Structure 1
Amino acid sequence: MLADGSAATASIQDITEAADVGFGSFYNHFSSKTELFEAAVADVMEEMGELLDKLSSTVEDPAAAFAQSVRLAGRLAHARPQVAQIFVRHGLATYIGSSEGLAPRALRDISAGVTAGRFRTGNVKLALACVAGSLLATQQLALSDPDFADDAVYDQLAEQLLVMLGLDAEEAHRLATLPLPDTASLD
């Protein structure tokens, strides 16, 4: 429902039937469908954040870790289109201010890049907004036009974001084309 856009019009009865649970058990866990859907979006984003952390755990350079995470998150549109739909439809509202999921990790990575002298930005939250908007907009394009997005698009996105964060173009290109870890866990 989150992915296909029917969440807003779904009744609690529709939700419990789709989940194959009793109507009464819904209220044992949630006070409203809004609360349920917010929790579901947060869970999806946290799951993806944990996966990206795991895949980037051995990368010491914060700029390389950032580039890798952007590239892998972008590839999500191909590997998990329903998750990408959730991000595009609901992600921005919960992405920027959330204490879980992708936003705090991106903010952490941008801050680490600034601290290490790899990134130059006067306002890390503004940089986060630029990164979030760029990633979500690229995923929207990928979902609406499957021919638009292949792996190279996400590499280009990472490269452009690295330049925005202050890396020179040659270094940004190098980091955005490094080999990626095994992405079988994205499938």
Structure 2
Amino acid sequence: MARRAGLRGPLARLPESRPVPAGAACASGARRDPGRGDEVEIGGLNVTPAERRNPRAERTRAALIAAGRRLFCERPVDAVTVDDIVQAAEVGKGSFYNHFTDREGLVRAISAEIRGRIERAVDRANAEVEDPARRVARAVCTYLRFALDEPERAGVLVRVHSGHTSMSAPLNRGLVDDVSAGLAAGRFVVPTLEAAVLYVLGVTQLALVRVVQEPTSSLAVSLSQQMLSLLLRGLGLAGGEADQIAAQASEEIVRQGAYAAAFQDPSGAAH
């Protein structure tokens, strides 16, 4: 029976208000601007009913997102200007502000799209998995497989990933739930919940950075297996079981890409 998605949080979301050097994507809800009639803002995007039905506006928005994604993959957000974005997208500067309130709005829209792809895959990978240790391992492997299949998007995560570390943050709920379940079941033996959550986040982020640097299957498989084995040992599992879980998750998810199809946009939107 499916339950929480497991590892999400900072590895998949950005902060609401601004990008930071190492961050996470935060889903941004829609809000209505009382001064703009039927217009609403979704993820930093000003959207009117007409725009939602306008193919030209949709193409412009897609071009801006694709350009921003390429640029944010290559260099820090603070080093990318709106002028850089519109030049790469080959649209007028006014078109940018027809769609986004500012650069941070574009970052939120891009990161929300990336987060959605990863969360779908984590949900699928852990749909029938109850054991907290296996859930954590499979979620970590999903991130590393994502770096192989979607190097540009993974590069964005590395560039704009945030250090949201609060245990009460909605961004961290899936991981906190899995680690809490592991502690309650005696699967994990660690000093505190917070220490365990930070430990998992740190290991996963560094592994993601390494695979983005060298996106080869051989590296990703060996690295995921080795780091997961160490991670699970650190959470309190015996060495033999940690090795077994790490090897199974790495083989199925990283090498075979069992859930990689979930990275694709179900709407059929262009890459």
CA distance in structure 1 between the partners assigned to 2:186 and 2:213 by the alignment: 37
CA distance in structure 2 between the partners assigned to 1:3 and 1:126 by the alignment: 30
Read off the aligned partner of 1:183 and give its amino acid letter: Y
Q: For residue 144 of structure 2, what is the aligned residue in structure 1?
A: 74
CA distance in structure 1 between the partners assigned to 2:206 and 2:74 by the alignment: 17
Superposition deviation, residue 6 in structure 1: 5.7
More helix, by proportion: 1
Superposition deviation, residue 136 in structure 1: 1.6
Q: CA 1:26 to 1:84, structure 2 compared with 1: closer, same or farther past 3 Å?
A: same
Residue 217 of structure 2 corresponds to residue 141 of structure 1? no
CA distance in structure 2 between the partners assigned to 1:46 and 1:95 by the alignment: 18
CA distance in structure 2 between the partners assigned to 1:65 and 1:24 by the alignment: 46
Instruction: Give TM-score, length-normalised by structure 1.
Output: 0.81
Q: For residue 99 of structure 1, what is the aligned residue in structure 2?
A: 170
Query: Which of 134, 158, 166 matches 2:236?
Result: 166
Q: Would you say the 8 A contact 2:114–2:153 is kept in 1?
A: yes
Larger Rg: 2
CA distance in structure 2 between the partners assigned to 1:22 and 1:55 by the alignment: 42
Q: Would you say the 8 A contact 2:135–2:178 is kept in 1?
A: yes
Structure 2, unaligned runs of 5 or more: 1-70, 265-271
Superposed, 1:56-135 pairs within 5 Å as: 56-91=126-161, 93=162, 96=165, 99-100=170-171, 103-135=172-204
Q: CA 1:120 to 1:139, structure 2 compared with 1: closer, same or farther past 3 Å?
A: same
Structure 1, unaligned runs of 5 or more: none
Q: CA 1:95 to 1:19, structure 2 compared with 1: closer, same or farther past 3 Å?
A: farther
- The alignment of Structure 1 onto Structure 2 pairs a total of residues equal to 184
Q: Would you say the 8 A contact 2:76–2:160 is kept in 1?
A: no
Read off the aligned partner of 1:159 and give its amino acid letter: S
SS in 2 for 1:31: coil
Q: For residue 26 of structure 1, what is the aligned residue in structure 2?
A: 96
Q: For residue 2 of structure 1, what is the aligned residue in structure 2?
A: 72
Q: Which moved more, 1:19-28 or 1:38-47?
A: 19-28
CA-based RMSD of the aligned residues comes to 2.7
Q: For residue 259 of structure 2, what is the aligned residue in structure 1?
A: 183
Superposition deviation, residue 112 in structure 1: 2.0
Q: Would you say the 8 A contact 2:180–2:193 is kept in 1?
A: yes
Instruction: Give TM-score, length-normalised by structure 2.
Output: 0.58
Superposition deviation, residue 149 in structure 1: 2.0
